[in-house]
């Protein structure tokens, strides 16, 4: 029942803007990440871990995995509307995230501050509720 649309926009040399609306969520914060593989052959499970070209621990928008987009907030109706400025995410060049996955999670992402091993890997964000593959859409 969780679904939505997420638009990625980047002009050369500027941060990527990630704008979206996701519905059907429990109210509150939900971890949101770019995952390594745009592979939905086994649902959201086959998307691998967070996109992490630098081989570092999980974190937030400033440091950590490039795919760490922190959390989105769902209101009392279960709707999350957001615009994220992601200065480490690229749509152009060798670190382009086009073809990778985007995943919304059941729980809040602790941004690597949870004090356990899983926090440094996934932020303890829990189950993968919904996901999609990042693709290029022609402007019409
Ligand atoms: Cu994730
Ligand atoms: Zn991460």
Tens of pLDDT along 58-77?
Answer: 999 999 999 999 999 999 99
pLDDT in tens, 33-45: 999 999 999 999 9
Catalytic residue flag (residue 30) = no
Q: Give the pLDDT confidence score for residue 140 in this predicted structure.
A: 63
- How close is the Cα of 83 to the center of ligand 1, in Å? 18
Beta bridge partners, 60, equal none
Residue 139 tokens, joined? 């402007």
**Catalytic: which of 90, 100, 105, 107?**
105
pTM of the full structure: 0.96
CA distance 2 to 12: 32
- How close is the Cα of 62 to the center of ligand 2, in Å? 11
- Spell out, as residue ranges, where the chain has pLDDT lower than 50: none
């Amino acid at each position: 029942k969780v679904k939505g649309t997420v638009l990625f926009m980047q002009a050369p040399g500027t941060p990527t803007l990630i704008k979206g609306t996701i519905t059907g969520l429990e109210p509150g914060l939900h971890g949101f990440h770019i995952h390594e593989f745009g592979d939905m052959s086994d649902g959201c499970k086959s998307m691998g871990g967070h996109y992490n070209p630098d081989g570092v621990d999980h974190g937030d928008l400033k440091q950590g995995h490039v795919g760490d987009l922190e959390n989105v907030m769902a209101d009392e109706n279960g709707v999350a509307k957001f615009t994220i400025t992601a200065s480490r995410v690229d749509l152009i060049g060798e670190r382009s995230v086009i073809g990778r996955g985007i995943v919304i999670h059941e729980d809040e992402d602790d941004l690597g501050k949870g004090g356990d091993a899983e926090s440094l890997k996934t932020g303890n964000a829990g189950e993968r509720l919904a996901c999609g593959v990042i693709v290029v859409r022609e402007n019409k």
